[in-house]
Amino acid sequence: MRRIVLSALLLAAPLWAQAGGGAVPLDKANIDLDNRQSLWHGAKLFVNYCMGCHSAQYMRYNRVGKDLGLSEDDLKQYLVFGEKKVGDTMTIAMRPEDAARWFGTPAPDLSLVARSRGPDWLYTYLRTFYLDPKRPFGVNNLVFKDVAMPHVLWELQGWQKPVYRTVKRADGHEEKIIERLELAVPGKLSPAEYDKAVRDLVAFLTYVGEPAQFERKRLGPWVLAYLALLIVVFYVLKKEYWRDVH
Ligand code: HEC
């Protein structure tokens, strides 16, 4: 019995290690993929603030337009810039080699990032950049330590600084850990407005990660209606067959 308990503990140990070690709890993104307004706002933020460095190479502008119910004029006015056409994919001009030279690491394509990281991680990531003079761009991030990405939304959020707390480690050493972030220089948006903007952006990235869900949702009721119709037809057929048997 004791051995069983011990092995159960050993198996669970890595989980504890992950849970401890200063892991930052993620804030809930609470995105709403049925809210087209939110996705539309997120799409605008994405092309304006992210596509300088990141692509969404599997997504086409006109697909976004169709799914979000936008006209071609809306697309041309707000999303499709420069040489791009509405039928193009959301790729960018920057070459990965250049990004690697400028930032030390390439800025990855974001098509699937909502699936690999999850919406809550993205929501927390984009809200937890903080001033850190030791980093090349002067910022660090709570969930992505020593990230190579600058705080590109600073204009909207402003700049946050860390508030530290001293904790005693098990070996008696004292350690300073970040307790929370505090707004040092306000941005154009209030904290609540900024949270909403990031929620919209994360909603858009989540949609980009699985655009087929719109199709599925649109088809869903029709599939159910078709099945219901089949039930009626089969019921009538069954009655018809059994009439002769009785
Ligand atoms: C100036 C260039 C630049 C811009 C603009 C930019 N990023 Fe980044 N981003 C990077 C770089 C470089 C990395 C790689 C960071 C690393 O690996 O340390 C990165 C990493 C990321 C990651 C982590 C990917 C992963 O899973 O490892 C996410 C998510 C992300 N960016 C989202 C965004 C969003 C959303 C925007 C727009 C609001 C944006 N970025 C704008 C340069 C940029």
Give pLDDT tens digits for 86-121: 999 999 888 877 888 888 888 999 999 999 999 999
Evaluate: CB of 52 within 6 angstroms of ligand 1: yes
Distance, CA of 84 to CA of 60 (rounded, Å):
11
Residue 85 alpha carbon to ligand 1 centre in Å: 24
Cβ neighbours of 168 (radius 10 Å): 9
Residue 128's pLDDT is 98
Region of 244 on the Ramachandran plot (φ > 0 left; ψ -120 to 50 alpha; else beta): alpha
Write out pLDDT tens, residues 51-93: 999 999 999 999 999 999 999 999 999 999 888 999 999 998 8
Cα-trace Rg, the chain: 25
Q: With the CA atoms of 206, 203, 84 and 74 taken in that order, what torsion angle do they form, in degrees rounded to the nearest 10?
A: 140
Residue 208's pLDDT is 96
Residue 99 alpha carbon to ligand 1 centre in Å: 11
Residue 109 alpha carbon to ligand 1 centre in Å: 9
Residue 83's pLDDT is 86
Which stretches of the chain score pLDDT less than 70?
Answer: 1-22, 246
Residue nearest to atom 1 of ligand 1 (CA): 53
Distance, CA of 125 to CA of 113 (rounded, Å):
12
Ligand 1 atom nearest 146 alpha carbon: 18
Are 139 and 131 a contacting pair, CB within 8 Å? yes
Backbone angles phi, psi at 79, to 5 degrees: -115, -35
Residue 15's pLDDT is 43
Residue 69's pLDDT is 92
Evaluate: CB of 147 within 6 angstroms of ligand 1: yes
Q: From 145, 149, 154, 155, give the residue whose CB has the most ligand 1 atoms within 8 Å, as the site to mutate.
A: 149
